[in-house]
Each structure stands twice: as C-alpha cells, then as structure tokens.
Amino acid sequence: MTPLRAATVEPTGRGRAVAVLVMLFLFQTLNFFDKLVFGLSAVPMMKELSLSPKQFGWIGGSFFLLFSLSGVAVGLFVIGRFPTKWILLILAAVWSATQIPIYFTSSLAVLIACRIILGAGEGPGLPTAFHACYNWFSAEKRSVPSAVVLQGISVGLLVGGPFLTTIIVNHGWRTGFLVCGLLGLAWMAAWAVIGGEGPYAATHGRLDAPQAGATVPVRMLWGDPTVIGVIVMSTMSYWIVGMSATWLPPYLQLGLGYNPTEVGWIIFGIYLFQSPLLLGGSWITQTMQRRGWSLRACLGNSSGLALLAAGCALLTTLVITGPLQLVLIAIAFAAPSLTTIFGPVALGAVAPAAQRGTLIVVIYSGNAASALVSNALTGWIVGEAGSEVGLGYAHAMTFAAGILIVGAAAAFALIFPERTLARFASTRATARASVPAV
C-alpha cells in the first residue's frame, strides 16, 4: 500500500520543480545550438578544409545516420529503466565530447565521427527531456511545462543565430564548436546539482508498464491509410527540417547573396516567426475541434495546407527579392513544423491506448532518416551545378519544394481519422462477437 500512498502525495519542492524545468528548457536550447553551429560554419569550413558542396552535404547528413536509431532505442528500452538525471548527464556529455575536439583538429575523419556520435546523442534528447519533466508535474499540470520545454528549441534557434554568428565571424568557425561544448559542460555541472527524479517518477516513469485496453492487429494498424499518410507527411516534412540547420545558412549566403551577419539575423527572424506560428496554429485547430470541426479538417487538411503553403513559398522565393522573399523563406522553413503537432495528435486520436506510444515514437524517430538523404542530396544537386552556385541552390530548393508538395498530397489524400476510428471499432466489435459465450 505504501507505493500507492506515495503516488498521491503532492510535491513539496515547487521551487525545485521549476528549477528542473528551467534546466530542461536550457537542455533543449543547447541541443539546437549544437545543430545550428554546423550550418553557420558552412562557408568558412568549406573554404578552410577545401570541401565541395557534395562533401559538406555528406558530412552534414552524417549527423542523422544514428539519430533515428538511437531515438527509438532509448525511447523504448532506456527511458523508464534508468534515472533520468543520469541519462541526461550522459547525453549532455556526448554533446560536449563531440563538439570540443573539432576546435583542435582539421581531420575530416574526426569531424565526421563527431557529427555521427553527436546525432546519436541528440536523437533521444527531446523524449528524455519530456520524461524528466513529467516526473516533476502531475498529469493535469503537464501541458504548460511541456510547452516550456519545447520553447527551448525556438529560443535555441533564435538566440543561436546571432550569438554563434558573432562568435564565428569574430573568432573563427572552430570557436563556435568550442563554445557549444563548454556550454554543455556548464549545463552538466548545474544539472548534477539540480536534477533528480521528482515525486511522480514511480508512477509515471515506466514506458514498459502494461497498458490496458483493446488493440487492433499490427498489420491493420500500420497499414491504415491515416497512419500511412502521417508517415509520408512527416517524412516529407522532416526533409526540410533536416535541411534547415545545415543548408539554410549557405543557401542564404551563397544562393541569395546575404552576408554572414545578415544570415544570422535572418535565421533569428525565421525562428522568431516559428514560435508564435506553432502556438497559434495548435490553438486554432484545438479551438476548431472544440467547436465540432472534424479531425479530418483539423489535422489532415491543416497538415496538408501547412506543407502546401511551405512548398509554394519556397518556389516563390526563387523569383522575387527583398523583404517579401524573406517572409516567404520564413514560411517555407517554419510551416512544416506544424505537422510535428498535428501528426502525433492524429495518431493519438486513432491508435488504441496500448499501441499509441510505440506508433508515435517509432514514426517520429524514424522520419528523421529523411534528413540524412536531404542533406546529402542537396549537396549533390548544388555540386552538380559547378561554378553556377546560385543555380545549384535554386535547383535544390525546387526539389525540396516538390517534396513538401508530395507530403501535402499525402495528408489531403490519406489522413481521415474518423474513417480509421470506425474501421478499428468495427474490427474490435467483430473480434468480441467471435469470442464464444461462457
């Protein structure tokens, strides 16, 4: 009986919970510092190390080589079985250990190895941060803390653009990596003191706990049109999300002619726009649901519209200039992230409770593999243009726009949550009817 009593006790350390939340916010901020510094270092790195666009693309894409695998593995087999304090410390240690060596070497082998290991360390970052957050807040009070953790991503991108650009321009691109590594060590020192399991760890911390409720056959679940639509949509969406950290800075500089300082502030503006877009978009669709709109309209059509708008905006950036071009670039690179909200909500709405977690974790870890392809293929397309670098970037962005439009088509054509719910309910009813009466 003691564990049950402990599970109902309210936490007494409210200040500690807030401190942990702040640390998790900073954890995600550092996560995106580490992603952004590579793209911001692109031009001076390619010059100093004599890298072609193809080579740079492969190095950038190597970050995602183990990203998906490690995210799935840690999400399924590590989180909930080991203290989150130590999991986060280990992840942060991996991040620092793969950033600092780049300051001291010119070896491409070391650079590639560091990027691959960094990707493996960052793959589990967000789900682990959520798990640590939930250990400190009760079920009915987790929405706002979750949003705070997610805002760490936006702040990392917002602050990282001008901050890291200033470091790179004034002290060299290698120093940008060194600063990221040292910030990781500082976070580890603070987390070693502040971090802990929280009062809800015993009851909410195990992902392998038995889940009650009916299920549907695995083949039917994964072969359902709505699930397939989310898989295609999310994979196409992550194509440009994966490109953004690596190829957006050189595209702005070499493809569109902005100087390094302007690039830093443009990236700041893009992610300043992204934060209210995600909050506003999710609020609008949630309000629509409360007012009786269908899941199809709120999740399927909204996802399709987000990707279609992004694809069309990206194509239009190639034929206009000036402030409107920058607005369209912001739409093209920010709007696809809306599907990261709508997709999991759609999966959560249709999947049986016992199968929901695996479905979401596997799809939203596995889709990051598209970033590996997008980074490499973008480098290949730019490299094929030879000395006409601007034309190469135009071709690469045209191809990316096509990918986004394919994702939009999948959302419009396949995501029908109401149909899926009816199909699964019919299957469960048939299964119950086939059970002989006792």
The angle that helices 260-290 and 323-334 make with each other, rounded to 10 degrees, is 50
The topology under which CATH files domain 12-206 is Growth Hormone; Chain: A; (1.20.1250)
Residue 71 CA to residue 50 CA, distance in Å, equals 33
Q: Give pLDDT, residue 178.
A: 95
Residue 229 CA to residue 245 CA, distance in Å, equals 26
Q: Give pLDDT, residue 95.
A: 93
Per domain, the residue ranges of the chain are 12-206, 210-433
Beta strands in 194-298 (DSSP E): none
Local mean pLDDT, 10-residue blocks, the chain (438 residues): 36 76 92 86 88 82 80 72 86 94 88 91 78 67 62 79 89 93 95 85 42 70 93 92 81 85 84 80 78 88 95 92 89 88 78 66 76 84 81 90 96 94 80 53
Q: How far, rounded to the nearest angstrom, does the alpha carbon of residue 6 sit from its chain's CA centroid?
A: 35
Q: Rounded to whole angstroms, what are the CA distances from 171 to 104, 166, 247, 372, 401? A: 14, 8, 22, 30, 35
Same fold, 12-206 and 210-433: yes
Q: Give pLDDT, residue 99.
A: 93
Q: Give pLDDT, residue 52.
A: 84
Class of domain 210-433: mainly alpha
Q: Give pLDDT, residue 428.
A: 67
∠ CA(322), CA(328), CA(332), 5° rounding?
A: 145
Q: Give pLDDT, residue 1.
A: 35
Q: Give pLDDT, residue 62.
A: 83
Supply φ then ψ for residue 174, to 5 degrees. -65, -35
Residue 142 CA to residue 3 CA, distance in Å, equals 22
- Residue entry with tokens 């650079």: 111
Looking at the DSSP bridge assignments, the partners of residue 79 are 82
Residue 94 CA to residue 319 CA, distance in Å, equals 43
